[in-house]
Chains A and B, each alone.
Chain A
């Protein structure tokens, strides 16, 4: 017997503890007409699924569930499509186990 339904990422992130710095996102996507391949890759590769395509075909970021791993930074920062910082001290993910 195989369980066919994959777990939802939202349910995974729900287990985690975050202190969200409201109104001060630590990652921003620069305005763009259509996303570059590396920017588009973030909608798949981000382990917290922070990146999504909006209705008009641009990549958006909602870093509330971010685990601060840096994958998007490694892929995209150099191209200038995203602006990456760590959250302010004390904010962001708080691992209970790590």
Chain B
């Protein structure tokens, strides 16, 4: 079996891979995309919220036929202890705009659609094909990939590594490190199906409107972690993620955490009577700016989760993947149109574009956040949520205790748990990491 040479090989058909393949195919490049699943999306897992702007830049009229679930009009943040939650809700009718800002999606369906767009743009997609190794010439330049299909190396001028957080190609070739346990979270998720009208009633939404709940606190049992609940049209995506280093240290079982979250009195009524149709697990890059590897080299670039491009603070990942994929595609197309080779020096254009974008600016802004949450996880995910819950309860319960005594008790509880110096220091460090 011989292969004609391609301008570019894209490894993976997730958000970043599809964005890169589509961008290059639209510009007339001969693109081969490899996907190890039965179809694009069959190996991909996300919460999932999709930010419209980043897709709009790639496919302006995506709303015509993309499989979208609900556009979000309400966001709830919950701080939880074992029996309560203290929440902040933001809901606005302004989100019911003509071109909504963000949607819930189901990745297997969405990725199938995105992959069809790549094919329509002229890209060649080879599914059920696992890329096993990068092929390099004697000078170390990447010249293609080996796959588990019979045949020679598939050659191309450049390989776009869109292989996800657990990508083997780049790590095996020494282009980047395997993620460290403290830089990735393991998220487990279930799909809970309920009739559309039941979801609408429970969340106070109508039509295509959607609601999101994100929750932190004792549900992660002292580990850095986050629970989430996203409304789709006829289902709820419900999951929880914790740092792998935290799980290994506490020996907590991820599905026990998920069950605990589901049984929480604030969550249980929202999913009561649902039928669970899938259980999924996935790693999420959490290392932030400091964990970003070398992004380009001779004959290769790395995009999306494989490049650790995830903003954990704002829970943005797939949009950074789309932007990095698009910029990789644009820079490769530009180099190609100038008739230049895909050298490290020329491909640095990709990094330059990314540096100028919000992607790197946002990640740089929060560069100290991962280590702060990691070293103070018990305070942030156990002690403070419990204190906040007690404070709210003290504030609301009416039992004849004078208010001044209740306030004193609340203040005393905070000082007892963290000390004055500890409280001040946490506040200052949080402020600096956020700045």
Pick from B41, B263, B276: contact of A15, CB under 8 Å: B276
Chain B positions within 8 Å of A77 at CB level:
178
Q: How near does chain B come to A53, taking the closest CB pair, in angstroms?
A: 13
Known pairs A67-B280, A74-B178, A98-B106. 12 more at Cβ < 8 A?
Answer: A15-B277, A41-B248, A41-B251, A44-B253, A45-B252, A69-B282, A71-B244, A74-B166, A93-B42, A94-B37, A95-B107, A98-B44
Pick from A48, A71, A98: contact of B45, CB under 8 Å: A98
Asked if B128 lies at the interface with its beta carbon under 8 angstroms from chain A, I say: yes
Interface residues of B (CB under 8 A from A): 36-38, 41-46, 48, 106-109, 111, 127-130, 147-149, 165-166, 168, 178-181, 184, 186, 188, 190-191, 235, 244, 247-248, 251-256, 259, 263, 276-283
Residue contact B42 to A75, C-beta cutoff 8 Å: no
A87→B104 CA distance, assembly (Å):
30
Knowing A95-B45, A98-B111, say if A15 contacts B259 (CB, 8 Å): no
Residue contact A74 to B108, C-beta cutoff 8 Å: no
Q: How near does chain B come to A41, taking the closest CB pair, in angstroms?
A: 5
Residue contact A95 to B42, C-beta cutoff 8 Å: yes
Residue contact A89 to B186, C-beta cutoff 8 Å: no
Interface residues of A (CB under 8 A from B): 2-3, 6-7, 9, 12-13, 15-16, 19, 38, 41, 44-45, 47-49, 67-71, 73-75, 77-78, 84-90, 92-98
Residue contact B256 to A6, C-beta cutoff 8 Å: yes
Residue contact A96 to B43, C-beta cutoff 8 Å: no
Knowing A45-B251, A47-B254, A98-B280, say if A70 contacts B108 (CB, 8 Å): no
User: Can you list 18 A-B pairs, Cβ within 8 angstroms, ordered by A?
Assistant: A12-B276, A15-B276, A16-B278, A45-B244, A45-B254, A48-B281, A49-B253, A68-B43, A69-B166, A71-B281, A71-B283, A74-B181, A75-B248, A84-B168, A89-B148, A92-B43, A97-B108, A97-B235
Residue contact B251 to A96, C-beta cutoff 8 Å: no
